[in-house]
Amino acid sequence: METVASPGRTLALLREKGLVPRKSRGQNFLVDSNIVRKIAAVAELNPYDIVVEIGPGLGALTQELAYRGGLVIAVEIDRDLLEVLRENLRDKGNVRLVAGDALKVNFDELVAGFLENAGGRLPTYKLVANLPYYITTPILMHLLTGKFRINLLVLMVQAEVGGRMLAAPGSKEYGALSIAVQYYTEAAAILKVPRTVFYPRPEVDSVVVKMRPRTTPPVQVDNEDFFFRVVRAAFNQRRKTLLNSLGGLGWERDLVLKAMTDAGIDPRRRGETLSIEEFARLSNALQRRVERR
């Protein structure tokens, strides 16, 4: 089967099916087979691996994943593209196509549904995705907080989003997303992907981020939900001091001040200067103060 990852083949397919890439869904298709191979290589697939792909598009990366891996389960929300995928991948007996919204998918249940021995313990699996900008953060948080049995994520995102995912304290990109990625995974940028390898060509470059879910978070927090509530509040108004930002959660100013003292954190600091360790100390101190009042 001819690879989809070329400008000529992609344009021919779109014309043949009367399809126009939907900007509202961030549809930019990979048209460089070399980049496709590099992305697939990041997933470290072997013939026994199960891999879930989100947003297969026309199937350029799906073809390569099927060549390298075992079972490939591709989730696509666009039913017009699903018809194209069925034709493009008809010679790939190890690919299963699923119509669905990745934001609403329980990936463990999805994988189990394609395994004959689903009654036993579900094996771990890998997830690969080219995430459109408009929905990157919601899908990423769904993947991070879903407690799925994913042992490796390979995500292609816009370069700006990748910068926020991997940002360090004190940088302008650092925020709640950076903390979440660090809390749930060990992550690194692996590959820069220029805008020129897509059709239609997006306005910005992309980056491939490799993420290994942690078995244990890097910090101990008394309550995970409370921790992220504090983190979000700290970044909600970046120009405010922590004392003022956390006051917006409805706690008395004096209580917040005492908790910051307990945690050894200067109340004049801003959220973007705190490390994940400092956020953990602050969250735990705040929760204890709130519970005692």
**Left if phi > 0, otherwise alpha if psi is -120 to 50, otherwise beta: which for 10?**
alpha
β-strands 95-99, 71-76 pairing: parallel
Tokens coding 135: 């929905």
Query: Which token pair is 269?
Result: 């600091």
Strands 198-199 and 125-130: unpaired
φ, ψ dihedrals at 175, nearest 5°: -165, -165
* Phi, psi angle pair for 153, to nearest 5°: -115, 135
Is there a binding annotation on residue 28? yes
- CA nearest neighbour of 99 among 108, 90, 86, 115: 86
Which secondary-structure segment (H or E) carries 99?
strand 95-99
Q: Is 30 annotated for ligand binding?
A: yes
Q: Is 55 annotated as a binding residue?
A: yes
> Residue 122: helix, strand or coil by DSSP?
coil
Identify the burial level of 245 via C-beta atoms within 10 angstroms of its C-beta, where 0-12 means exposed, 13-18 middle and 19 or more buried.
buried
Residue 186 among known ligand-binding residues: no
Residue 130 assigned as binding residue: yes
Q: Are 21 and 29 in contact (CB under 8 A)?
A: yes
Q: Which residues contact 268 (CB under 8 A, 6 or more apart)?
A: 241, 242, 243
**Are the C-beta atoms of 282 and 262 separated by less than 8 Å?**
no
What's the Cα-to-Cα distance from 161 to each of 165, 190, 261, rounded to whole Å?
6, 14, 34
Please enumerate, by residue number, every residue annotated as part of a binding site. Answer: 28, 30, 55, 76, 101, 130
Please enumerate, by residue number, every residue annotated as part of a binding site for S-adenosyl-L-methionine. Answer: 28, 30, 55, 76, 101, 130
